[in-house]
Chains A and B, each alone.
Chain A
């Protein structure tokens, strides 16, 4: 079992709210993703069992939604918006800066498993561009200095003494 007892309870509770239990598939995927950090076939099986929905149906839905990583990612998943409003204010330069600072390419994870950098579609933060989402939080109106501080803070939080 990858899901904790607490996650299972939360998924069951979510299912009881809806007139049809299958509606809880996305909430369940969200709960699982927040606990584990990514999704895979084993998790779909577990969710399917809890909800009484075929694992294939859970997998079918999950494969559609790009918000959930389908393989393990670093402790901090850095998602950079590269859409028009952010790009007009330097999103591509932001991505290059992150790649250079962290020594990885988009899609890769740092060797210490701390940071994964990915590109994502519009996150609805266009008037505070450029922006990135790290795990569940938004970081907006980004500048180089701001990115430096954010990465430093996260590395410190992770206990590596600000080496990022």
Chain B
């Protein structure tokens, strides 16, 4: 039996490590089976939480761990759970966000396809912590295989009594729904996701109220990323203090990095937070250096919405604070690498097309702004740019930044602002000469 996705991982290293844990079994095709998962200690954390801990103790343990949201925002998970109003009589909901669609990001898919029970177990523990009896996983519609694996795993979890009525004889009931989306990046934004889950267009909602107060069906709702939730069983099994001992002071634990673009060995690698970015790209264990032995030109460190880093900036620890200090963000941990033969205008034209397409159209600055940006950037890319275009791009970006209901507008312009700043000469050359400084042409490999 082979894997559906051939993506490379560092499972062997994880297995030998006492600190890495998420990817321990992801190279074993038997791991999705519940018997295998149970044999390896699976659902032990769920049983422990439900039979020997109070919901507040579970939340406290996760708070102690310092675990931060792995979807991109990096908000402390335990603190988020604590926002559920005490004593509310309304139903409470947990939603696992599996709408993975930020260019460069392909980590949650691996967890769902190769270790689905870890996601369910984490969801169950989080549900208990917030007093939820119906939990959802919202999987992007294109992830057909992930959905099938999650559905099968869910059925097994019911059969084995980890889900359903009166779990482990405690009287606690917990149901689960696997829900699929329809191809919209914006639905990864939590309020858009909730609208989508309610059967509506995925437009963002104005916050406040935050979902923890009024979310799905106007009830208190917690939305956590797949990787965040898959980490929770480890926190419960080994303790918040143990988790906190990994990584850096403020960026605790481990994180999966999706490495893509011009590297010899793209893949998904679980690293302790604080791991050196340069090592991820060049180490023979991970990226193995730049494709074709070419020179590195730039790196997008945290998914396509995060500002660029140039080669002189990559000798830094991969943690939330260091990336911010470098002018970028850790985001979803999607590291996109490109070499010297890549025109920056071409890169930005590619990115802005995505954001223009994915803008939900609710806020004028984002809807119209991304469209204008795409036109101007395409014009420069085609060789018909005009003097003043760069300044116009900067002005439009500034007028989108911070002026939209959800972060999509910011996501669209942050990489543009940084690309203009870091490679201004290249933009000017493009406008003055009507062509790239470098010729960008990437051919499909011949293969065998």
Contacts and interface: CB of A to CB of B under 8 A. Distances in A.
Interface of A: 17-20, 22-27, 29-30, 53, 57, 60-68, 82-85, 87-94, 97, 120-130, 133, 136-138, 140-147
Contacts, number: 195
A65 B184 contact: yes
A92 to B, nearest CB: 7
A83 B103 contact: yes
Contacts of A92: 442
Nearest to A147: B444
Contacts of B285: none
B443 A90 contact: yes
Interface stretch (B5-13, B368-376, B401-409): B5-13
B216 to A, nearest CB: 9
Interface in B351-391: 351, 354, 357-358, 360
Given A124-B100, A125-B106, A145-B447, A27 B184 contact: no
Interface residues of B, number: 67
25 contacts: A20-B199, A25-B199, A26-B181, A29-B182, A30-B182, A61-B201, A65-B181, A83-B350, A89-B261, A93-B442, A121-B101, A121-B183, A124-B105, A124-B140, A124-B142, A125-B109, A126-B105, A126-B266, A126-B334, A137-B145, A138-B145, A140-B5, A143-B444, A145-B446, A145-B448
A90 B444 contact: yes
A23 B183 contact: no
Contacts of B104: 84-85, 122, 126
Given A85-B260, A144-B446, A23 B199 contact: yes
Given A64-B182, A85-B260, A19 B217 contact: yes
B115 interface: no
Nearest to B441: A93
A122 B185 contact: yes
Contacts of B179: 23, 26-27
B161 to A, nearest CB: 20
A126 B259 CA distance: 8
A128 B201 contact: no
Given A121-B185, A122-B354, A129-B260, A27 B443 contact: no
Contacts of B304: 83-84, 122
Contact of B350 (A19, A26, A53, A84): A84
A82 B352 CA distance: 12
B91 interface: yes
A143 B448 contact: yes
A15 to B, nearest CB: 10
A144 B350 CA distance: 23
A147 B7 CA distance: 18
A143 B185 CA distance: 27
B73 interface: no
A111 B218 CA distance: 50
B199 A26 contact: yes
Contacts of B261: 84-85, 88-89, 129
Nearest to A34: B144
A64 B201 contact: yes
A26 B177 contact: no
B16 interface: no
Contacts of A89: 261-262, 442, 444-445
A126 B441 CA distance: 19
Nearest to B339: A88
A60 B101 CA distance: 22
Contacts of B267: 127
A127 B260 contact: yes
B102 A128 contact: no
Interface string B200-230: 1110000000000000010000000000000
B217 to A, nearest CB: 6
Given A122-B103, A136-B144, A129 B199 contact: no
B239 interface: no
A24 B200 CA distance: 10
B418 interface: no
A66 B184 contact: yes
B442 A90 contact: yes
B438 to A, nearest CB: 13
B101 A127 contact: no
A95 to B, nearest CB: 9
Given A88-B262, A90-B444, A138-B4, A68 B140 contact: no
Contacts of A18: 177
B103 A126 contact: yes
A88 B442 CA distance: 6
B343 to A, nearest CB: 12
